[in-house]
Structures are given as structure tokens and as C-alpha cells.
């Protein structure tokens, strides 16, 4: 027989915590229809007006390469067109006569920086192009976990990763940016070459970078990629504290505790116990008798069973101190 006891506010605690899940997509899986990771080529074409349906790009969805370039520029780099460290802050002043003076009348744009450290973003405004890799939210959750992204260009030694601060690095060279909360990877660097100087020994060496030997943008758009990252999702754990006072639940309603019970046939060859006179058996009348708890049910206000918690082993109810059972739900 069930016994109901309502929860009070302090008995229910909801605690949020972050969980991560790893993903790895190789080769053709990267742009498969069930994965939906898309790649776009962004072009800075200022020689002609934009025409709908022209210069389309994308592996899964079709977008204008000009609009891709302009959208990325507006969303993530509008403060950094004049320099990698950002545009000067607005310095406009409101005068007593309600006029405004100063070189800037509007505030800076919000470009989704990943931290409060001094910014470092470069966006090509000349003839260079960009590549945008878009990971859908059903894969990255709330955001891509920092320090988890790695992308390898198939058939080459080009491998990049994020540094946890929003930068995409090839070794120690920055080649782009990652917007963790949007699942957007932007490759902005086109030129790179490496010259090795081993000082004639083959044991010690230095790498001198410069030139335009490797085009990152074209490699990341035209070749197959292997991509791995971790998604981040907030899960809320709800804890219910079921407290049994020392004077509560110290008796059992199990009919087998009553003496004089007899087996009664149900007419089909089997029988079931029938409580007798209602007198308790001698072994349950002593002061040391204590029932055991094996199951806790959670009910709604209509006394409808919603969940059942099974204890690992029967728990005796203490007659001298309170007993608490903690039930945790993750969802």
C-alpha cells in the first residue's frame, strides 16, 4: 500500500551543468546530406552589381558568393576592417544645445568575440577570397567546445585547430577565426610558404614563413576534409530529497504481518492469502521492528505515478534519526 508525502520547496533542487559530445566526419561524410556541414566560397566582387542567382557557391545549399563575403564581413569583422585590433571606440559628445560633435556618431558593432582579451581579427578587403564552413546547431548544440576543433585537408599536410580563443591556427600561424556559438569557421588566409634552414646539420632548424606557396582558401573549399569537434549542451539535473522523519513510516501495511491468515482458493486450482483476525504477529510488535524501503514512487498532484526509483538494496527506516533518499533526474 502506498503512503504519500508532499515535497516542500527546499526538497527540490535544479542544477545546470555542461556536457560534451565528440563528432568526427571524414571525407565525403563531411558534406553528406545527413550531416549537413556546408562550405561556401566568399568573393569580394566589386566590379559589378550583385545579380540574383549568379556566382552561386555551397555543397548542400546554394548561396551567392558575393553575399557570403558581405554577410561574414558585416557580422564578424565590421570592427576590424581598418585593423586587426579593432576600430577606435566612438567618441561623439552630446552638447548642451542638443548637438553632437565628434568623429563618430554611432557605437561599434557587435562582432561575437569569444573572450575579453585584446582582439585579433583580419579580414581581406582586396582581391582575396574567404571560405566559410557552417556546422548546423543540431550538431554543435549551444556552442562548439573551445580547443576541440581540428580540420585536416585530405591528401596534404594541412591541418588546423582552434586555440580556445577563437583563432584557427596552422601551427603558430593564424589562418582564420571560429565563432563558437554559431558553429562558423572562417578561413581568411591565402598565402603561405615555408623554407627550412637546418644549419647544415639536419638536427636543428628554423622555419621561415612568407610568400604564397599554399592557398588555404582553395584547399579548404575544393578538397575533402576530416573534421572533429565537441558539442556543448546544458543539461538540468533535478534532485528530489525524500526525507523520512524518525517517527514516520515506522509501520508496514503488508497483510502478511497479520496473524491468522489462511489460504483461500480462487476456484481455479490456486490460492491467495487472506488476512486473519487483524492481530499482528509477535515478531513485528517489538520496539526494534522497522520496515524496509525498496521503492520510492514520484506522483503528481492527482496521485498519478510518474516515476519509480528502485534502491540498490532494502533500506531500514531508522527510529532514532531522519532518513533521506536522494533521487536525481538528468534531462
**pLDDT for 200:** 39
Residue 112, Ramachandran bin (φ over 0: left; ψ between -120 and 50: alpha; else beta) = left
Sign of the CA dihedral running 143, 32, 62, 170 = positive
3-state secondary structure of 301: coil
**pLDDT for 128:** 82
**pLDDT for 209:** 40
Phi/psi at 73 (5° precision): -60, -45
Grid cell in block for residue 290: 522497522
**pLDDT for 116:** 87
**pLDDT for 278:** 60
Q: Give the integer Cα–Cα distance in Å for 309 and 301.
A: 18
**pLDDT for 41:** 93
Q: Give the integer Cα–Cα distance in Å for 187 and 177.
A: 7
- The DSSP string of 69-96 is HHHHHHHHSTTSSS-TT-PPPP--EE-T
* Beta pairing, strands 271-274 & 262-265: antiparallel
CA nearest 35: which of 133, 166, 160?
A: 133
Whether 309 contacts 327, CB under 8 Å: yes
Q: What is the model's pTM? A: 0.70
Return per-residue pLDDT of the chain as tens, 331 residues: 456 888 888 899 999 989 999 999 987 777 666 788 999 999 987 766 767 767 889 988 999 899 999 999 999 998 888 777 776 666 667 778 777 776 654 556 789 998 888 888 989 888 789 999 999 999 999 999 999 999 999 888 889 999 999 999 998 899 999 999 999 999 998 766 554 434 334 433 334 344 445 788 888 988 889 999 999 999 988 999 998 888 887 776 666 666 665 555 555 655 555 555 566 666 666 566 778 888 899 998 888 999 999 999 988 888 788 889 999 887 6
Amino acid at each position: 500500500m502506498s503512503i504519500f508525502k508532499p515535497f516542500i520547496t527546499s526538497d527540490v533542487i535544479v542544477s545546470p551543468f555542461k556536457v560534451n559530445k565528440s563528432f568526427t566526419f571524414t571525407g565525403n561524410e563531411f558534406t553528406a546530406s545527413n550531416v549537413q556541414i556546408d562550405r561556401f566560397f566568399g568573393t569580394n566582387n566589386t566590379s559589378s552589381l550583385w545579380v540574383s542567382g549568379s556566382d552561386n557557391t555551397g555543397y548542400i545549399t546554394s548561396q551567392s558568393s558575393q553575399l557570403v563575403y558581405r554577410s561574414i564581413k558585416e557580422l564578424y569583422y565590421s570592427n576590424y576592417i581598418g585593423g586587426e585590433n579593432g576600430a577606435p571606440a566612438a567618441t561623439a559628445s552630446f552638447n548642451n544645445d542638443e548637438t553632437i560633435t565628434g568623429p563618430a556618431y554611432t557605437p561599434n558593432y557587435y562582432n561575437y568575440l569569444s573572450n575579453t582579451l585584446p582582439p585579433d581579427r583580419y579580414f581581406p578587403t582586396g582581391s582575396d577570397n574567404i571560405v566559410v564552413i557552417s556546422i548546423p546547431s543540431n550538431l554543435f548544440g549551444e556552442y562548439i567546445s573551445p580547443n576541440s576543433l581540428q580540420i585536416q585537408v585530405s591528401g596534404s599536410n594541412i591541418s588546423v585547430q582552434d586555440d580556445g580563443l577563437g583563432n584557427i591556427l596552422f601551427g603558430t600561424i593564424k589562418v582564420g577565426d571560429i565563432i563558437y556559438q554559431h558553429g562558423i569557421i572562417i578561413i581568411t588566409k591565402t598565402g603561405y610558404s615555408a623554407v627550412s634552414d637546418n644549419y647544415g646539420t639536419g638536427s636543428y632548424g628554423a622555419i621561415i614563413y612568407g610568400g604564397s606557396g599554399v592557398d588555404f582558401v582553395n584547399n579548404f573549399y575544393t578538397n575533402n576534409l576530416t573534421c572533429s569537434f565537441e558539442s556543448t549542451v546544458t543539461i538540468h539535473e533535478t534532485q528530489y530529497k525524500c526525507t523520512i522523519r524518525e517517527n514516520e513510516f515506522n509501520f508496514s501495511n503488508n497483510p502478511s504481518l497479520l496473524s491468522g491468515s489462511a489460504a483461500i482458493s480462487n476456484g481455479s486450482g490456486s490460492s491467495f492469502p487472506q488476512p486473519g483476525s487483524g492481530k499482528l504477529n509477535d515478531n513485528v510488535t517489538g520496539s526494534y521492528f522497522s520496515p524496509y524501503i525498496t521503492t520510492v514512487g514520484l506522483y503528481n498532484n492527482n496521485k498519478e505515478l510518474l516515476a519509480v526509483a528502485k534502491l540498490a538494496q532494502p533500506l531500514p527506516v531508522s527510529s532514532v534519526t531522519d532518513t533521506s533518499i536522494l533521487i536525481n533526474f538528468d534531462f
